[in-house]
Amino acid sequence: MKRFFSLLLCLLMIPGMLLLTGCHGSRSLPDFVPPEEFDESRSYTVTFWAKNDTNKTQTRIYEKAIEDFQALYPNITVNLRLYTDYSKIYNDVITNISTNTTPNVCITYPDHIATYLTGSGTVVPLDELFADPDYGLGGARLRFPSPKEDEVVPQFLGECAFAEHHYAIPFMRSTEACYVNKTFVEALGYTLPETLTWDFVWEVSEAALAKDSQGNYLVNGQKVMIPFIYKSTDNMMIQMLRQKGADYSTPEGDILLFNDTTRELLYTVAEHAATGAFSTFKISSYPGNFLNAGQCIFAVDSTAGATWMGSRAPLMDISADRVVDFETAVLPIPQFDPQTPRMISQGPSICVFNKADPQEVLASWLFAQYLLTDEVQTAYAETEGYVPVTRTAQASAEYRDYLDRCGEDDLEHYEVKIRASRLLLDHVGDTFVTPVFNGSASLRDAAGQLIENTAKSVRRKETVDDAYMDELFRDVNSLYRLGSGSTGGRKDLGPLPGTAVFLLSALVVVWILLLAYWLFDLLRKRKRENGT
Amino acid sequence: MKKTIALLLCLLLILALAAGCSGGGDKKSAGVMTYAEYAAAALDTKVVIETYVQAKQSWWDDKATVYTQDKDGAYFLYNMACSEADYAKLVPGTKIKVTGYKSEWSGEVEVVDATFEIESGKYIAKALDVTKLLGTDDLIKHQNEFVSFKGMTVEPIQDADGKDAAFLYKWNGTGSEGDDLYFNVSLNGKTYNFTVESYLCDKDSDVYKAVKALQIGDKIDLEGFLYWYEGVNPHITSVKTAK
């Protein structure tokens, strides 16, 4: 009997190994095919990885959404896992792709999804699900009022399409805003324009560096003043390039970041970092901390960080005795051409991971889609300077009322927060996103690193000239492996390396020899038995 | 006269030798800054220091964050280039020579963009009692040092629902098991916010469990590293009932 099992194992192993050599670079999960009907006789568990901004209200909204959804679909249990950092979600997903233990539904960025897609068949293309008349967007058999496809803001939905499919649905959208200490700008003798220009921001920032004989800055009477602080320098570089009409990348994944316009922008950064007029979050700290302490005039951060901005901000990292009273203006980021403003569109999206069971995927899609309902959309958007991604939620009476009550209190209706949301609502047509491809997340990091390195170098009194720029481009290119030819979409990994082929072939040969020996041994014993 | 001068010279020599052998400060290799020189160095300047590992906070992507100290002062090394194998060698007491840049982030003075090499030597700092310095301008002079606070009282801290708690997961109570712990302690009517940094002391550490067991009103002695974030924000490594 044991021998029979051994033989069986051998026979199973050989095709298994042959399969191993053949499946390299192909899909580990079958393509998702939407079931015709959702099987409600079965129970499903959907794991949902989400991000909150260390904001308890956001957590409660997720929890309530899950509770409400489970009441509608008692056969689906949603398990929530919360993160406070997108990069941690990204790292965990990458780790779990190899073991097929990805979550079912995940809050993420399109740039990250492009990397997830290198694990073939990992993320579900949603186009067929969108269009499904029963369970798709606005589907007839849904137990909740889902928005129709054309009720999702087209620009935001379009941001989730790459590699020829929609791989996500938008969840919330934000942009960047420049939070300005208007009181100080006017004290310096300037009037804030409707749209900031880079020239204006640099000029006022330099003017704010004047000191008295004691070494105190005249504008604030303090020893510390960093007039212009940028939180996300990757966004800074990307937006400056877009405003200038300069290259960054192609949709196919060609890296065009290292160009003459980038170089010119970095010289400007160097000039103002050298005087102390400009710094970054990575070098100094959160722009909001300096702004609220009267130590910064132009603080650029996400509209989703608006509750930290201003002297009456509901969230504060500095002690009350350090907060300075001033008027906060919320303006679009500085522009090169104020007539045609350009600003980034950002914010979380939702993707659905593929599983062996299509019914489980359908259950996941139902939950993902539930997050687009007006109730979830408006509730979450009101926690920060976010904007709902559906027209129905944006037009809802509740959301309009929320916007109209701007400044009524310093919590739910905190003026800076609602003005930050309005900024995006007024400028949806001026937003853009960068092409998404495998490697676009690294390119984004590289764009920020150029500014960080340049700013640090001039602070350290290094010479920033053409030779420096050449070396910086080389170093950053190499650090983020941008020259390695990463391209968009899924990629066939090609044939196995020779060493792997040799190793697997050797294993097969060993098993064949073992099998031959066993057969030979068996025949010899039978012959001996027959002979006796 | 000659005799007087000779006597004076002898006395000076003896005094100099005595000072040299007292062990009060760290003897540095050539080209290495003393702590005083480091403290006086301007931000964004290159610094070369010799120091001793006191605790490790984290390692990720070939970067290590380490609390270090010599006999004269402390140095926080943020994201120092370090292989995983070398990180394992950085046990408490290990002497290292570090080259990097002095920087400041939210009030925390640290060494960034650093590289290091291990040297022979060992030193583990005893906790300096800074209880009396709390609330004074002198406290910052001991930034990053291993310190102790005696006889502190646990004060309420408001959780995300506005209820009083003895500690919070994350600064505002939105976290969960495994996240940083935040708690308030007071002395002489002034309240201070302390932290158990979860990378330094994770959920299985004694201090993490001890803080979770705190009750408002408990009298405690604490030890930790005098970290700074927009004000003093010690990273606590030990909590015991006050003696």
| CATH number of the structural domain spanning residue A443 | 3.40.190.10
Residues of A in contact with B172 (CB under 8 A): 54, 56
Distance in angstroms (rounded) separating the CA atoms of residues A58 and A51? 9
Residues of B in contact with A286 (CB under 8 A): 106
Mean pLDDT of B219-237: 97
Residue B8 clears pLDDT 80, i.e. is over it = no
Distance in angstroms (rounded) separating the CA atoms of residues A522 and A514? 12
Which of A52, A82, A319 has its CB closest to that of B231? Answer: A319
> Other C-beta atoms within 10 Å of A33: how many?
9
A180 and A169 co-located in one domain:
no
Would you say residue A506 lies in a domain? Answer: yes
Residue of A nearest to B161 (CA): A56
Strands (E), B61-93: 63-69, 74-81
**Contact criterion met (CB < 8 Å) for B105 and A52:** no
Would you say residue A467 lies in a domain? Answer: yes
**Contact criterion met (CB < 8 Å) for A456 and B113:** yes
Range B183-194 burial, b when 16+ CB lie within 10 A, else e: bbbebeeeebbb
Q: What are the pLDDT digits (tens) for A281-327?
A: 999 999 999 999 999 999 999 999 999 999 999 999 999 999 999 99
A198 and A325 co-located in one domain:
yes
**Contact criterion met (CB < 8 Å) for A317 and B230:** yes
A291 and A333 co-located in one domain:
yes
Closest CA to B61 of A479, A197, A421, A415: A479
Distance in angstroms (rounded) separating the CA atoms of residues A13 and B232? 62
Which positions ≥6 away from A459 have C-beta within 8 Å? A273, A274, A283, B43, B44
Distance in angstroms (rounded) separating the CA atoms of residues A442 and A436? 11
Is 0.95 exceeded by the ipTM? no
Residues of A in contact with B46 (CB under 8 A): 460
**Contact criterion met (CB < 8 Å) for B106 and A285:** yes
Distance in angstroms (rounded) separating the CA atoms of residues B130 and A185? 42
**Residue type, position B65, single letter:** T
Distance in angstroms (rounded) separating the CA atoms of residues A487 and A438? 6
Query: How much is the pLDDT for A503?
Result: 63
A189 and A219 co-located in one domain:
yes
A125 and A102 co-located in one domain:
yes
**Contact criterion met (CB < 8 Å) for A289 and B231:** no
Distance in angstroms (rounded) separating the CA atoms of residues A522 and A525? 5
Bigger pLDDT: A415 vs A526: A415
Burial class (CB in 10 A: 0-12, 13-18, 19+), A37: exposed
Query: How much is the pLDDT for A491?
Result: 38
Residue B176 clears pLDDT 90, i.e. is over it = no
**Contact criterion met (CB < 8 Å) for B44 and A55:** no
Q: How confident is the model at residue A530 (pLDDT cuts 50, 70, 90)?
A: low
Residue B213 clears pLDDT 80, i.e. is over it = yes
**Contact criterion met (CB < 8 Å) for B106 and A286:** yes
Closest-CA distance, A55 to chain B, in angstroms, reads: 6
Which positions ≥6 away from A345 have C-beta within 8 Å? A155, A156, A159, A173, A175, A428, A431, A432, A433
Residue A494 clears pLDDT 80, i.e. is over it = no
**Residue type, position B18, single letter:** A
Q: Does B177 touch chain A (CB under 8 A)?
A: no
Mean pLDDT of A64-90: 94
Q: How confident is the model at residue B209 (pLDDT cuts 50, 70, 90)?
A: very high
A126 and A43 co-located in one domain:
yes
Residue A21 clears pLDDT 60, i.e. is over it = no
Which of B104, B109, B174 best tests the A interface by mutation, with the highest count of A CBs <10 A? B174
Query: How much is the pLDDT for A121?
Result: 85
User: Domain range for residue A370?
Assistant: 30-173+347-404
First to last CA, chain B: 60
Where do the structural domains in chain B lie, given as residue ranges?
A: 35-122, 128-241
**Contact criterion met (CB < 8 Å) for B230 and A82:** no
A204 and A292 co-located in one domain:
yes
Residue B74 clears pLDDT 80, i.e. is over it = yes
A358 and A340 co-located in one domain:
no
Residue B98 clears pLDDT 80, i.e. is over it = yes
- Least confident residue range of A95-99, A287-291, A452-456: A95-99
Distance in angstroms (rounded) separating the CA atoms of residues B232 and B107? 9
Highest mean pLDDT among A7-21, A147-161, A489-503: A147-161
Q: Beta B108-122 vs B94-105: how paired, if at all?
A: antiparallel
Between chain A and chain B, the number of residue pairs with CB atoms below 8 A apart is 45
Q: How confident is the model at residue A9 (pLDDT cuts 50, 70, 90)?
A: very low
**Residue type, position A275, single letter:** T
| Assigned token pair, A496 | 């196995």
Which of A275, A285, A458 best tests the B interface by mutation, with the highest count of B CBs <10 A? A285
A454 and A468 co-located in one domain:
yes
Q: What rounded mean pLDDT belongs to chain A?
A: 90
pTM of the model as a whole: 0.86
Q: What are the pLDDT digits (tens) for A172-230?
A: 999 999 999 999 999 999 999 999 999 999 999 999 999 999 999 999 999 999 999 99
Domain B128-241: CATH architecture, name and number where available: Beta Barrel (2.40)
Distance in angstroms (rounded) separating the CA atoms of residues B7 and B80? 51
Phi and psi, residue A131, nearest 5°: -85, -5
Topology given in CATH for the domain delimited by B35-122: OB fold (Dihydrolipoamide Acetyltransferase, E2P) (2.40.50)
Q: What rounded mean pLDDT belongs to chain B?
A: 92
- Least confident residue range of B53-62, B113-122, B173-182: B173-182
Q: How confident is the model at residue B4 (pLDDT cuts 50, 70, 90)?
A: low
Residues of B in contact with A56 (CB under 8 A): 160-161, 172-174
Closest CA to A207 of A161, A272, A299: A272
Residue of B nearest to A460 (CA): B44
How many structural domains are present in chain A? 3
Residue A131 clears pLDDT 90, i.e. is over it = yes
Query: How much is the pLDDT for A460?
Result: 97
**Contact criterion met (CB < 8 Å) for A56 and B174:** yes
Query: How much is the pLDDT for B124?
Result: 98
**Contact criterion met (CB < 8 Å) for B175 and A54:** yes
Would you say residue A417 lies in a domain? Answer: no
Q: How far is CA B99 from CA A263, B18, B75, in A?
A: 29, 31, 12
Residues 83-142 of B with CB under 8 A from A: 101, 103-106, 113
